[in-house]
A and B are shown apart, each in its own frame.
Chain A
């Protein structure tokens, strides 16, 4: 079995909304696919179809070698789902939650118990094992939810925006768990609105918007689509934008992009750091004071803009908060995360 997940021509409409409009996917066994798109793009709907929760209007899906529409119950034995909202029973303890899930996967009571113990330890929840999940912090709940998805060590995992709403520390911890799973050979389909998350975790990325796949490839391939490096300059004096533009034109065959409002000038370049130094010297020689200058490599956000004409963030104003907290965390260094979840054990739940 080469492909752990195959989707062909998935269509799903809700009234007038075409939530999925012919989505094709394939995920090789043991790899991570990042399904990337703004709010309402159809990510959750895709996951729901692939995890047997929703019947598509058209199309075909095969997960773990089994036809999703024909044999949903067999598919369910081989998948784990961690949905967009933590799916745990608040009044049950962590242990009871995991045991219940094990028993509903048809494991014996004894096996469920043993597996629950193992997972509680692995997810740093042993201390809180016998407290109702209601008393857990957000990060702990997420971990319990993920543990529940892993009860049967499913070969294929689906995670729908697993880090949405998590603080940076918990986010990094979760990334480590995900990487560990993948090292163990699990195939993972992960949805995210965070471009850097897909960049960081996924082998392949599929960008969806309005229920359609608008791009696919590795992060590097997608970035290459947008073009290479650029030099960006912000000049101090608005009146000198024209002069600066003249200087920069000497370094670019494709012209200079000028944003008068932010006093930002951008040119595509190839020379890298060496060229940057030349540009600085040249501007200096003309007496142009600069507020900021830098070499910019394209991010997936640039990919998004070039594909859809808007920022990923623009899709939904309400989501601004989560974006703001999510957008910056990735660069915060990796020191905070220990295996598999740092700090945040039983203590922080008041």
Chain B
């Protein structure tokens, strides 16, 4: 200590130099994902209600529609149940995105978002962390749903690796849709609005598709939309990889090459909507 040390010492920040780049993006996204997963554990209602709806759909569709819809020329309810599951699984991963919209909208209304934006963290990590946490939740939901599906008679016929591949495609689509949900959550003013806005668009997307009924019975123009619907490609891929009945025989390219189509659509959605959402996040001054 010298005499000059008696003047007040200006504190020096403890914050290390930012690393930047991908490493920091991954690190920051994981920190935020952890935060969201902790929240999820502390608000188990969200997970529970996230489960009830798809389980209910499995049971309702299986027993209400089963027997009245022809699959591959057969009205055997068992065939319909096998047909149905790829649709329900895929619908479940996409419906989970409504929670992302609401969660992000809620975050944006809280002062916490200002804290995040005032920290030297990676751009987009708040959103990426949220989408990762939502993906984990969706995967957990799927595990329960698969158990229920097996109980009502659904089976895989092409081996486990292909089935896992199908689930991978479904989760990828779900992840892609989460970014659409994120953009919606950033675009509306309140969490309540986000809950409805995040849900509404999913109905046409999931119903104008091959998910619940064979598209062959639709008017021509509607069938074309259904065939090119990104959602349909993943459902079709699921049926093919599970070896389930009711695979669409349409000539449309996505129906002929559902695995590639599903991959292509999901990646395209991620690139486009992640860019839009991150841009929106950075410009939002809420």
Contact = CB atoms under 8 A, between A and B. Distances in A.
A55 to B, nearest CB: 9
**Range of interface residues on A (Cβ < 8 Å):** 35 or more
**Range of interface residues on B (Cβ < 8 Å):** 35 or more
Contacts of B31: 100, 103-104
Nearest to B10: A185
Nearest to B20: A73
A89 B13 contact: no
Contacts of B34: 100
B39 to A, nearest CB: 4
A106 B19 contact: yes
A85 B113 CA distance: 11
8 contacts: A29-B10, A48-B114, A92-B39, A96-B38, A103-B31, A152-B14, A155-B13, A185-B9
A176 B38 CA distance: 34
Interface string A44-85: 000010011110000000000000000001101111010111
A186 interface: yes
Contact of B118 (A81, A91, A132): A81
Contact of B15 (A87, A106, A184): A106
Given A83-B115, A148-B115, A111 B35 contact: no
Contact of B43 (A77, A91, A105): A91
A95 to B, nearest CB: 11
Given A73-B18, A105-B15, A184-B11, A91 B115 contact: no
A87 B8 contact: no
Contact of B16 (A54, A107, A151): A107
Nearest to A12: B285
A101 B112 CA distance: 11
A100 B111 contact: no
Contact of A107 (B14, B113, B118): B14
A106 to B, nearest CB: 5
Interface string B142-165: 000000000000000000000000
Contact of B110 (A77, A87, A187): A87
